[in-house]
Amino acid sequence: MIRTSIRRGLIPGVAALALVLSACGAGNEDSGSSDGGSDSGLSGELAGGGATSQEKAQAAWRAGFQTENPGVTITYDGVGSGTGRENFINKAYLFAGTDSAINDDEGELTAANERCGGDVIQVPAYVSPIAVAFNLPGIDSLNLSADVITDIFEGTITKWNDPKIAAENDGVDLPDTTIVPVHRSDDSGTTANFTDYLSKAGGWKAPADDTWPADIKGGESAEGTSGVVGLVTDNEGYIGYADESAVGDLGQASIKAGAAYVAPSEEAAAKALAVSKLAEGNSASNMAYDIDRTTTEADTYPLILVSYLLACPTYPADQADAVKAFLEYVVSDAGQQAAADEAGSAPLDPAVSEQATTILEGITAE
């Protein structure tokens, strides 16, 4: 199970929360439609934040939702999954995005339930491959097994022409360049998913966690997805991990799944989720997944992140309708397609979308 931690203290990026809703006009059940320009009658401000992986998708969701709900202003602070969960628990956000499912390893699930006055809602909203991205001029792709990736990030493999890398890349002219692994400096759900993959598929020595382990020495760190991608882009020989949609022109690794190496793609990520199961012990409103990182199914890419939305089952009467309408749009076919077009994410399987919608439909006024 992925561990998480609560860090109390200053809360960055907190927007003032104000929400005044009007019930006149069309009902909110039409808010996710795409017939263009209808006004649902909702108005006010919704503040959320968290996972940086969701930022492009959140921009698309805001634009799509606000087209038919022009009176609603939605903000999303890309402060990282850990801070997003903290701000949600502290009631600074009405909803949050997290790349690692909230659980009770550090008491977060209990704290979220207390904040909500009932079982917190946790539904998948964004599925994407995590790319292992590198900067080696003239080399666009490499085959890297989980064992080799683990050795690179633990500092055991330090040169690009190491025999272990060469053995998986016959015919590739690998340079004698020093490898510099880059990890996230902030509390990151992407890190949790990356280390979960390494621990289950590659023999990672540290437990899976949102925070990079302090006893793994070497390499460099950067804040946020953009920080990691920027550092790798600017330095030859560097390698990092980030949402595939954000890595630009960097080289990307194909990872081993079964007998073959599979490149990151929407289709391969969606298939990896399809072969995974919901985690044991979930409440009826919790769709946290136990991702199968060691699947041998063909054409799967098990190094994925499933980014979730956190919400409460009840809100004050002047907030409930707008929160419900926006989150229902996010998991709808229209919302998922908007995210796929903008951020390159894999749309939710129809059955997953339907289950998430059913849970969100249960949001009511206090």
pLDDT of residue 38: 57
Do the domains at 28-129+272-295+304-365 and 130-270 have one common CATH topology?
A: yes
Per-residue pLDDT of the chain (366 residues; tens, 9 = 90+): 333 333 333 333 333 333 333 333 333 444 444 444 456 688 878 999 999 889 999 999 999 999 999 999 999 999 999 999 999 999 999 999 998 899 888 899 999 999 999 999 999 999 999 999 999 999 999 999 999 999 999 999 999 999 999 999 999 999 999 999 999 999 888 999 999 999 999 989 888 998 999 989 889 999 999 999 999 999 999 999 999 989 999 999 999 998 899 999 999 998 999 889 999 999 999 999 999 999 999 999 999 999 999 999 999 998 999 999 999 999 999 999 999 999 989 999 888 999 999 999 999 999
Assign 3-state DSSP to the chain and report helix, strand, coil percentages, each to 5: 35, 20, 45
- Number of Cβ within 10 Å of residue 37's Cβ equals 7
Q: Where in the chain are the domains?
A: 28-129+272-295+304-365, 130-270
The CATH H-level (homologous superfamily) assignment of domain 130-270 is Periplasmic binding protein-like II (3.40.190.10)
Using a cut of 0.85, tell me whether the model's pTM lies above it.
no
The CATH H-level (homologous superfamily) assignment of domain 28-129+272-295+304-365 is Periplasmic binding protein-like II (3.40.190.10)
Pairing of β 121-134 and β 238-243: antiparallel
The residues near 291 (Cβ < 8 Å, ≥ 6 apart) are 193, 196, 272, 273, 276, 302, 304, 306
pLDDT of residue 270: 87
Surface-to-core class of residue 51, CB atoms within 10 Å of its CB (0-12 exposed, 13-18 middle, 19+ buried): buried
Q: How far is 312 from 174, CA to CA, in rounded Å? A: 51
Surface-to-core class of residue 340, CB atoms within 10 Å of its CB (0-12 exposed, 13-18 middle, 19+ buried): buried
